[in-house]
Amino acid sequence: MGQITLQGVRKSFGPVNIIKDANLDIENGSFVVFVGPSGCGKTTLLRLIAGLEDVTGGQILIDGRNVVGVPPAKRGLSMVFQSYALYPHMSVRGNIAFGLKMAGLPRSDIDRKVEAAAATLNLTPYLDRKPRELSGGQRQRVAIGRAIVREPKAFLFDEPLSNLDAALRVQMRMEVAKLQKQLATTAIYVTHDQVEAMTMADKIVVLNAGNIEQYGSPLELYERPANLFVAGFIGSPKMNFVPGEVAGEPSVATLGVRPEHLKIGKEGEGWPGTVSVAEHLGSDTFLYVDAGKLGLLTARCIGEFNFKAGDRIWLSPDPARLHRFDKDGVVIRT
């Protein structure tokens, strides 16, 4: 079991409020990603759940039990750190076994569990090596091994892949997601990378300046962002925002349309503009279009479109895919 509930959780460091009233319900077995720009409080929220920081107010429930004031080890959670945080003087075996040793398990049980965890993570040949003799990816696996061997109620990941190179990151991303499904253990994963968030999560928590802006599945956030912040944060390239008045809709403050929902034409309809930069990525082409009063717009089209800088084009937004926001930045649902 691993149901985690936050009720009115607050955290301040001195006069600074890092987390302002967080309420969240994380279902057992789900993979939840905390995402947001740096300094938004996502890591702090994770550390509050872990027990590495004390809450200023509110309750954290794990399987219905309030764990505020309970030391980290007694919460039944395990954590994977950004820096891996392996014990440098212990072998891989010692690292993975440490938690079990602290829990006072008999030697034979420890050995069996460590072997099993190592086998799951393809670490068996490295069990007697020291962390410094391993590559970045292997160290990351050891850190994960240390987390899974304790059979926790939930895994907490604090930007675990950010120290790996791009190719390895994609590979580990899949491995972590697969492992979590296989173990069916609740996981909370912190990242600033929205691609990681979108690809791994069952549900995403978007955080900004200590507030939970939206909580939902990746597609929900993409299709129905609750406010300007989420609309701008989720999706790459970023959603285009146009003032409602200029776009001919004076009743809304801001109109949002994603680059992939702009139809591009060589003449006629929609918003006229001039291509200022065309990025050809092969599969896609990103056009950065100077649209006069509308500002700089980004449009995405398939790679074969042969536009270049200086071309005069017309952009017409898909009316079904328009996002309308009021003057407070909150979405207007019709």
What residues contact residue 127 under an 8 Å CB cut-off, 6+ apart? 91, 92, 93, 114, 118
**Region near another protein per CB under 8 A, out of 35-43, 99-107, 114-122, 220-228:** 99-107
**In terms of CB distance, is 102 or 195 closer to another protein?**
102
What residues contact residue 30 under an 8 Å CB cut-off, 6+ apart? 186, 187, 202, 203
**Region near another protein per CB under 8 A, out of 18-26, 73-81, 201-209, 243-251:** 73-81
Sign of CA dihedral 136, 138, 144, 150: negative
Q: According to the binding rule CB under 8 A, does residue 107 interact with another protein?
A: no
Binding to another protein in span 42-71, by CB under 8 A:
50, 52, 71
**Region near another protein per CB under 8 A, out of 83-91, 236-244, 281-289, 317-325:** 83-91
Tokens matching residue 197: 């968030």
Q: How far is it, in rounded angstroms, from Cα 258 to Cα 299?
A: 8
Q: According to the binding rule CB under 8 A, does residue 81 interact with another protein?
A: yes
The site that binds another protein (CB under 8 A) totals a number of residues, namely 23
Q: According to the binding rule CB under 8 A, does residue 150 interact with another protein?
A: yes
Q: According to the binding rule CB under 8 A, does residue 98 interact with another protein?
A: yes
Sign of CA dihedral 294, 296, 298, 303: positive
Could you give the count of Cα atoms lying within 13 Å of 330 in the half-sphere of its Cβ?
Answer: 3
Shortest Cβ distance from residue 76 to another protein (Å)? 10
DSSP per residue, 262-279: EEEESSSSSEEEEEEEEE
Shortest Cβ distance from residue 277 to another protein (Å)? 36
Q: According to the binding rule CB under 8 A, does residue 293 interact with another protein?
A: no
Residues at the site binding another protein, with contacts judged by CB under 8 A = 50, 52, 71-74, 77-79, 81-83, 85-89, 98-99, 102-103, 146, 150
